[in-house]
Chains A and B, each alone.
Chain A
Amino acid sequence: EAGVVQSPRYKIIEKKQPVAFWCNPISGHNTLYWYRQNLGQGPELLIRYENEEAVDDSQLPKDRFSAERLKGVDSTLKIQPAELGDSAVYLCASSLNSGGEYFGPGTRLTVL
């Protein structure tokens, strides 16, 4: 069974530039999550989708971050404009309902 797929794996941009990350969850998983992980810390939830609906986006900085999951499968997370403090690993995870979450390899973002 294929796991959660994310792309790109690495991204380096200059501050104030836009950036987008893509995620394809495990087939059949209706719940999708985006997390941010800073160095030496655990992942922190940004947004959770159940099918197409964002059911928890309370931790998403909405002034610059946006996400979508139009058909209830793939999802994109966008930052515009990026700031130096956005440098982190952005992880996507999926689960079947409220079961265990399975993570992708993440996208390591460096903002210069």
Chain B
Amino acid sequence: GESVGLHLPTLSVQEGDNSIINCAYSNSASDYFIWYKQESGKGPQFIIDIRSNMDKRQGQRVTVLLNKTVKHLSLQIAATQPGDSAVYFCAENFPSGGSNYKLTFGKGTLLTVNP
């Protein structure tokens, strides 16, 4: 749902369940998307990326799905573990003129994994 001020969207799951984190991006010209994981006190950590010519990409325990029609991105985490607890950000990369491009982050989602 919408977040206001300091209130992040949250997702709480049981250890071992699958998690799905959703993201709506804003620019139809975006051609590259990245999911980041950010633990408390640390910088964002690259998880997985996908280019706009693909609609699915799989990594180790993670899958990213891209739906360009509705400008929607999702991150699926299989067999969620307590170490997956963090804030997850999607980021879109779009051309901003000439050879420039800009990476813009969406609102984060706080994932809490219950043991």
- Residues of B in contact with A (beta carbons under 8 Å apart): 3, 5-8, 32, 34, 36, 41-46, 49, 89, 91, 93, 96, 99-108
- Decide if B105 touches A56 in the complex (CB within 8 Å): no
- Decide if B43 touches A103 in the complex (CB within 8 Å): yes
- Residues of A in contact with B (beta carbons under 8 Å apart): 4, 33, 39-45, 55-56, 91, 93, 98, 100-106
Q: How far is the CA of A56 from the CA of B97 in the complex (A)?
A: 11
Is the contact region of chain B dominated by helix, strand, or loop, or is it mixed?
strand
- Decide if B44 touches A91 in the complex (CB within 8 Å): yes
Q: How far is the CA of A55 from the CA of B44 in the complex (A)?
A: 23
Q: Which residues of A lie under 8 Å from residue B42 when comparing CB positions?
A: 105-106
- Decide if A40 touches B8 in the complex (CB within 8 Å): yes
Nearest CB of chain A from residue B79's CB, rounded to whole Å = 24
